[in-house]
Structure 1
Amino acid sequence: MKVVNPYLNFNGNTEEVFNFYKSVFGGEFAMLMRFKDIPAEATQDQAGEGCADAGVPAGEENGIMHIALPIGSSILMGTDVTSNMPQVDHGNGISLTLSAESREEADRVFNALAEGGKIQMPMQDMFWGDYYGMLTDKFGIQWMMNYSTQW
């Protein structure tokens, strides 16, 4: 296994979320597909529950079926959950951990993600030798930022 890529689900605001992350991390979307882009010939088995022939609710055709934003050697991916599917309840069961290449990069990304969110632990030198902080962004996603000179 080379890399683990997180896949995030949102209740209809994936485009807003990923445009925010794009403004923080830069780059371009490697993929952006909307529900309306599913080919008419796609079957429910191919498209998945809640898509195309399975019935995307009226007014949700422009929702994000799949989006991918490369960040370093990883890809952050996501989708909208349509209103006819179980809705997402963001919990605290997962955090996305970022490893910065410098203290300056760690501070820049941490502060950008914290805008409108909540800082649990500000960036600081830790007893194990790293520069580290934790936050929950304005979309309810938990992030851990780390800068280490040890690896």
Structure 2
Amino acid sequence: MEVQLIPYIMLDGGAREAIAFYEQALGAKVVFKTTFGESGQEVSEQARDRVAHSVLKIGGTDLYVADTDPGVRFAQGKQVNICINIADKEQAQKYYEALKEGGQVEHPLQEVYFSPAYGMVTDKFGVTFQIFTKRT
């Protein structure tokens, strides 16, 4: 079972600017980028051009950058969280259950348009994890 822990930067409308900055400052290469409008789900006009997800490659490391829904802001210092990528839904459920103990559920673990099991939890230490199960 392969598990990846990837830093994920979540911004309120600044993802495109951040991506351009990391391309210039860190030599990042954009290997994937999609907007909320391209996702196939119904979104507000204000959200259409926001970055729903992007994958930057810096050396041998991935960095995810995306925008939140309009008006959703992470508190200062919370814009960077950790994305747990895994293919096994049962293991994803175990991680979710363990991390939410004494913490706070930000998004329940459930099937969404981009993942068969996705959730977000802030653990009891204040660290936010996104749990992303890959489609197989």
Question: 2:29·2:56 contact (CA, 8 Å) conserved in 1?
Answer: yes
Q: Which runs of 4+ in 1 moved over 4 A?
A: 92-95
- Kindly report which structure 2 residues correspond to 1:29-108, keeping only aligned pairs within 5 A, or say none: 29-39=30-40, 52-53=41-42, 56-83=43-70, 86-91=72-77
Question: 1:3·1:74 contact (CA, 8 Å) conserved in 2?
Answer: no
**How many residues align structurally?**
81
The residue type paired with residue 10 of structure 2 is: N
* Offset of residue 74 of structure 1: 1.2
Q: Where in structure 1 are there 5+ consecutive unaligned residues?
A: 40-51, 96-151
Identify if the C-alpha distance between structure 1 residues 7 and 17 changes in structure 2 by more than 3 Å, giving closer, same or farther.
same
Percent pairwise identity: 20
Deviations 1:45-81, CA, capped at 9 Å, x for gaps: xxxxxxx23xx22222010000111112210102101
Larger CA Rg, structure 1 vs 2: 1
Identify if the C-alpha distance between structure 1 residues 38 and 2 changes in structure 2 by more than 3 Å, giving closer, same or farther.
closer
**TM-score with structure 1 length normalisation?**
0.46
Partner in structure 2 of residue 18 of structure 1: 19
Q: Comparing both structures, which one devotes a greater share of its residues to strand?
A: 2
Q: CA separation in 1, counterparts of 2:79 and 2:10?
A: 14
Q: Where in structure 2 are there 5+ consecutive unaligned residues?
A: 82-136
Q: Which structure carries more relative contact order (alpha carbon 8 Å, separation 6+)? A: 2
Partner in structure 2 of residue 141 of structure 1: none
**TM-score with structure 2 length normalisation?**
0.50
Q: CA separation in 2, counterparts of 1:38 and 1:69?
A: 19
Identify if the C-alpha distance between structure 1 residues 94 and 67 changes in structure 2 by more than 3 Å, giving closer, same or farther.
closer
